[in-house]
Structure 1
């Protein structure tokens, strides 16, 4: 599993370095940033306060577009493109504004304005009728952030089409909320908090790439992923001197993108009074000041960019700057910025085909693991063919042991026998003269293979191991089981956590207890965990985390010969590649499923032939059932047997490494295989 370095630790380390590092040698005085004149200034707001703006673009006549500007205690104001105030709304203390045009809702679409009410510490949503210069609030109650709001931006997911708002708070968090409209009323569903650091403020999101940028005033500019199931680790775009090119305070951020081109990022470097531009690759592309025509910018706050034409004065769009000193808003033509800084024309970005993004929703989630942190890991499904509704999922808690869940996600049993990492099961193993369902797990506490009998009547596990079955590994990790169609023998395969070493043992009856006998050893090369054996075809699938998915023979004399199914990087996978399972169809057909953890999705290949790639899918939130999606998945398992109306074509169980909405300890999500097949059509 990928290790994530805590951002706070990075920040502390940088801080420590800055205090202990010797003074930097004096450098030549940098060249003065060129000045660009604003083409327009609005009238000052009613209370001479300016913090943020948004633009409604008139699709029929861009020159008739409208500015929505925050006027603090004076409320929300509208200006036309002459700078004149055309309307004012006093019902709130407006701090930050976002406009979303053509938002689909209730079978139609309309324009939304999402505004932070600084007095209430909340978000309010309005239906915008720009032609009539009217706003109609549609939130039944303000969306309470319960903290001072220091920034606001929105994101329309390319994965699900959902609209999200990010509110930066005084406590250094970025709160992500889903904004929805149902029956004409708007509301918010809290999704997650992203640690952003004290001083986090302005933000902007690129809908096309899903990249969220935010400024931390005294530290720098950061990027994180905006998708709710994404990793919240952040990447520095630029830092305050001496670690970067910025001066203390960093404020407003905005993006310029046309069509499918890559985006330029613009940042207000308030410490130097300049505006820094970053290329689509994140490299500094120049800086400028806004002065001339008696329209100098004094103290810039929020930035807004419109990439579309706003008429003859702004043929390629405009940068809108909130000037706190003068209490008004300055507009700079983007073509003036591009010409002055000689910005290269952005390279077009290949758009993903609509069919490439496939999503399914979970039908059930299990109770959270008892252990905090990285705990839940790998599931195994037992099917009750007499009464499918009594089928269970056995899941590992790698800080505690094993959990048994029913098909509603309720925990039936906890087996606190050690740090169980991976688990698998097979039916029909003969022990003490009787066929049983045998369950195997890697036990990292005792460095052994733990073996259990599953009782179909009580749906409980009991140990049947002949003592502690030493794995020979310092840290046993991944595990899968195999029943040979050739010999009828049962096997356990497991690997270590570091070097990709695999061992295969034959299961044997030793005086009525289950034991193991080593029959094979081989090495895949680097760290691996997930594996799955195809009992009918005699094949073994192994996920080498940073390399790809391999196919071996599952027989004890199979050796090290292998075939690459897919690769990381040059193929369709992104590290880490984790859990693997086999979906059995008829006549040797079916599917191989793998956790493509680096993309928070799942890759599917055909079981037959050369394992042709079928597609990928994401598991996203099921709002109707109040179940979040799954991400950072380690283990998974799938069965093809029908398990009732919810799972008519079988069940896929995936570990959820983040478990959002609400934020809880890790768990497992149940997905209908029929939903997966429908999504991949």
Structure 2
């Protein structure tokens, strides 16, 4: 696998985070609505014995008290807002896959309290242990019903129903994870890891790594028919992390990592048409995430976070990416 840089000009990051111990993979951004400059970036560190989900402030420094360690191969991570704990209490939540234990984890944010009683098992009906190991995860909150779901991918799977979708619900006995559907085609070429949900438009995207970006409805009530399979001509090899840039009037972009080309391919949020490629100075990027919220003086137009293979994450000011067609 070549690490030769592409010929695109590098858009330099505002900063690089502190190093983590093992192997960076996927970031998520928690926006502190009341004080955006105190927002947190979470990033996974893959290790079978002492993996972690590290919390970073907007200076890229590790927040030890909000980091979760001693996790068995955490892979991907996501954040959701206003999860209903009961009739009167809501909390923001962090979810991540713990591949080494065939489960997903759930914590409140920003107090980082465990909500899952040690974890929710996934892909339980599979008999092949290789098909039980989760990788990607993305929240989907139905804007009408406020129902909360997680969509989970795995290291290996069949050519149909590669993804499982679970409702995350709270009742008198606590928080539960309930399987509500299986869906998603797989080319059989490599694997499926990255998942991203456009809640406002109601779509879920995932990277069939050697094939295309696939698009489905996020609401299980709308069925399991594939809407689109696009982008194949704009990647060198692995199609990886997906970040959705959301602006007013439902405009915006999909930013998708072209892993072996060390670049990102940009697509229109609505038409999914290719716009251009950009180089953010990353190497072998798996995961990325974005917010368009003003996070203060360093990131007034929003923040784009991406993993690179040097055990750190890169923070870019979103306005510097110039995502529109040149």
Q: Distance in 1 between matches of 2:298 and 2:308?
A: 20
Partner of 2:136: 478
- Aligned length in residues: 306
Q: Distance in 2 between matches of 1:437 and 1:643?
A: 18
Structure 1 runs of 4+ aligned residues shifted over 6 Å read: none
Partner of 2:83: 429
Q: Structure 1 stretch 478-487 or stretch 402-411: which is displaced more?
A: 478-487
Q: Distance in 1 between matches of 2:97 and 2:138?
A: 9
Partner of 1:401: 52
Partner of 1:583: 245
Which of the residues 651, 656, 660 maps onto 2:308?
A: 656
Which of the residues 639, 645, 659 maps onto 2:291?
A: 639
1:414-493 map, 5 Å = 414-416=67-69, 417-432=71-86, 433-455=88-110, 460-472=111-123, 473-493=131-151
2:275–2:324: 8 Å Cα contact kept in structure 1? no
1:26-37 map, 5 Å = none
Q: Distance in 2 between matches of 1:676 and 1:468?
A: 37
1:442–1:450: 8 Å Cα contact kept in structure 2? yes
Q: What SS does structure 2 have at the residue aligned with 1:360?
A: coil
Pair 522,641 (structure 1): closer, same or farther in 2 beyond 3 Å = same
Q: What's the offset of the Cα at 1:588?
A: 0.9
Q: What's the offset of the Cα at 1:496?
A: 1.2
1:532–1:540: 8 Å Cα contact kept in structure 2? yes
1:565–1:611: 8 Å Cα contact kept in structure 2? no
Pair 585,225 (structure 1): closer, same or farther in 2 beyond 3 Å = closer
Q: Deviations over 1:423-464 (max 9, x none)?
A: 001100011441100111111122111000012xxxx42211
1:429–1:435: 8 Å Cα contact kept in structure 2? yes
1:122-271 map, 5 Å = 227=5
Pair 522,579 (structure 1): closer, same or farther in 2 beyond 3 Å = same
Partner of 1:506: 167
Pair 583,226 (structure 1): closer, same or farther in 2 beyond 3 Å = closer
Which of the residues 251, 265, 269 maps onto 1:607?
A: 269
Determine if the alignment matches structure 1 residue 380 to structure 2 residue 28.
yes
Q: What SS does structure 1 have at the residue aligned with 2:112?
A: strand
Q: What SS does structure 1 have at the residue aligned with 2:227?
A: strand
Pair 680,618 (structure 1): closer, same or farther in 2 beyond 3 Å = farther
Q: Distance in 2 between matches of 1:586 and 1:577?
A: 27
Greater relative contact order (Cα < 8 A, sep 6+): 2
Taking structure 1 as the reference length, the TM-score comes to: 0.43
1:358–1:679: 8 Å Cα contact kept in structure 2? no
Q: Distance in 2 between matches of 1:680 and 1:631?
A: 24
Which of the residues 365, 386, 391 maps onto 2:39?
A: 391
Determine if the alignment matches structure 1 residue 497 to structure 2 residue 147.
no
1:520–1:557: 8 Å Cα contact kept in structure 2? no
Partner of 1:411: 62
Partner of 2:315: 670
1:68-79 map, 5 Å = none
Q: What SS does structure 1 have at the residue aligned with 2:19?
A: coil
Determine if the alignment matches structure 1 residue 550 to structure 2 residue 218.
no
Q: Deviations over 1:522-542 (max 9, x none)?
A: 232132110100111110111
Q: What's the offset of the Cα at 1:678?
A: 7.0
1:563-578 map, 5 Å = 563-564=227-228, 566-568=230-232, 571-578=233-240
Partner of 1:528: 192
Q: What's the offset of the Cα at 1:491?
A: 0.5
Q: Structure 1 stretch 464-473 or stretch 388-397: which is displaced more?
A: 464-473
Pair 468,612 (structure 1): closer, same or farther in 2 beyond 3 Å = same
Q: Distance in 1 between matches of 2:34 and 2:19?
A: 29
2:230–2:272: 8 Å Cα contact kept in structure 1? no
**Structure 1 residues not aligned, in runs of 5+:** 5-223, 231-355, 620-628, 660-665
Q: What's the offset of the Cα at 1:401?
A: 1.9
Determine if the alignment matches structure 1 residue 598 to structure 2 residue 260.
yes
Q: What SS does structure 1 have at the residue aligned with 2:100?
A: coil
Q: Distance in 2 between matches of 1:415 and 1:491?
A: 22
Q: Distance in 2 between matches of 1:379 and 1:638?
A: 9
Q: Distance in 2 between matches of 1:679 and 1:411?
A: 33
Pair 225,480 (structure 1): closer, same or farther in 2 beyond 3 Å = closer
Computed over aligned residues only, the root mean square deviation of the Cα atoms, in angstroms, reads 2.0
Q: What SS does structure 2 have at the residue aligned with 1:611?
A: coil
1:551–1:562: 8 Å Cα contact kept in structure 2? yes
